[in-house]
Amino acid sequence: MACSLRCVVVCGILLAVLDILHGLVTLGFYGYQFIIESFYLCPLELPVEKCHNKIYIYEQMFEMRVYIGIGEGIACVLFSIFYIIALVKHKPSLTWVWLMKSFAVIAINVYYLAAWLIRQGRYDHIEWEKQDYEDDFVWAGEGLTLAQIIIMILFCLIGGIFTYKVCEERTASRRNLRHRRKWSSHDATAPPLNYDEEEAQYLNEALTNSDKTLPVRASKQSLSEISRTDTFKHSTGV
């Protein structure tokens, strides 16, 4: 743990920037597929029957993943920004919220990859030619899943060090605060060393006397009261 808290925060911010790029790539890929689906899925030279079959298979296998992928890309960016704010504000509990997004992204990608592999031969009875975008979806899902796993491992490493550093800093701050309160509460009335009990009581009375007058030793009267008594005696004597 030789690195400072500031270095850990910088590393966490760099990791968040990397995750933002991951989210932008996700958003760009699925946004591109949404545009292809909306305008270029069926070229003019494609027969009507094959066009309908192509649209049907796309809707069954890939359309929902496109919509989820767009939301996934936006969520990656938002969670990364939230993660950066938590790092800057030194809030370890909030930084771990990022794991929710990471687990969700991995689960979604694994689910759709398994679904695509299982359903590959389900539409063989339909007049259909395998399209290039099928492989694009599979490769994109594998690549984004692997990238998210690597980012999550780095996040757990940085998050653990960050949490330890912040807790260590807060513990030291509380310890210093307790020492300061202890000394400040005893400084005003604590007698010096090597004083006997009578001298310590005398000094305490001198420090806490509201009239701000030193009391005379072995007497409970203040100097002002004694001076008034002496003056009264002199005046009556004359």
pLDDT for the residue 236: 47
Dist CA 79 CA 99 (whole Å): 9
Q: Is the dihedral of CA 83, 84, 86, 87 positive or negative?
A: positive
Dist CA 83 CA 95 (whole Å): 5
Q: What is the pTM of this model?
A: 0.68
Dist CA 164 CA 200 (whole Å): 46
pLDDT for the residue 51: 82
In this predicted model, what pLDDT tens digit does every residue of 21-57 receive, in sequence order? 999 999 999 999 999 888 877 877 777 877 888 888 8
Q: How confident is the model at residue 195 (pLDDT cuts 50, 70, 90)?
A: very low
Q: How confident is the model at residue 58 (pLDDT cuts 50, 70, 90)?
A: confident
Q: What does each C-alpha distance from 203 to 20, 136, 194, 195, 215 come to in angstroms? A: 67, 87, 13, 10, 9
- Looking at every residue in the chain, the average pLDDT score rounds to 78
Number of continuous H segments (helices) and E segments (strands) in the chain: 8, 0
Q: Give, rounded to a whole angstrom, the gap between the first and last alpha carbons of the chain.
A: 85
In this predicted model, what pLDDT tens digit does every residue of 220-234 receive, in sequence order? 444 455 455 555 444
Dist CA 97 CA 103 (whole Å): 11
Task: Please tell me the least confidently modeled range out of 59-68, 132-141, 174-183.
Answer: 174-183
pLDDT for the residue 187: 53
DSSP codes, 56-87: HHHHHHTHHHHHHHHHHHHHHHHHHHHHHHHH
Structure-token match 């689910």, residue found: 111
Query: Which residues in 7-38 are b (16+ Cβ under 10 Å) and which e?
Result: ebbebbbebbebbbebbebbbebbeebeeebe
Structure-token match 């999550």, residue found: 152
In this predicted model, what pLDDT tens digit does every residue of 143-180 receive, in sequence order? 999 999 999 999 999 999 999 988 888 787 676 666 56
Q: Is the dihedral of CA 209, 210, 215, 220 positive or negative?
A: negative
Q: What does each C-alpha distance from 26 to 30, 76, 179, 233 come to in angstroms? A: 6, 9, 52, 100
pLDDT for the residue 70: 95
Distant-in-sequence, close-in-space partners of 49: CB < 8 Å, separation ≥ 6: 127
Dist CA 178 CA 43 (whole Å): 75
